[in-house]
């Protein structure tokens, strides 16, 4: 699924996303670190991977098909 970056802490790598339906979704530094990214900007579109429990496991840049 895709979302928009609502907040991002460059020190801890924790953040919060807004899904397309407007609901917030938090992610941990571990989910960010698994992406290999160095930084996220507010308003940036990202692709989100979640596990069966709904926890974010990876946040990567959204790409066009």
Q: Which helix (H) or strand (E) holds 30?
A: helix 29-33
2-61 folds as: OB fold (Dihydrolipoamide Acetyltransferase, E2P) (2.40.50)
Which parts of the chain have pLDDT scores under 50? Answer: none
For residue 65, the model assigns a pLDDT of 64
Query: Count of CB atoms within 10 A of residue 32's CB?
Result: 24
- C-alpha–C-alpha distance, residues 19 and 12, integer Å: 22
- C-alpha–C-alpha distance, residues 34 and 13, integer Å: 11
For residue 17, the model assigns a pLDDT of 97
């Amino acid at each position: 699924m895709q979302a928009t970056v609502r907040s991002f802490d460059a020190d801890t790598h924790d953040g919060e996303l807004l899904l397309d339906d407007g609901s917030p979704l938090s992610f941990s530094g571990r989910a960010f670190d698994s992406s290999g990214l160095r930084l996220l900007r507010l308003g940036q579109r990202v692709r989100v991977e979640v596990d069966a429990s709904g926890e974010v496991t990876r946040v990567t840049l959204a790409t066009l098909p």
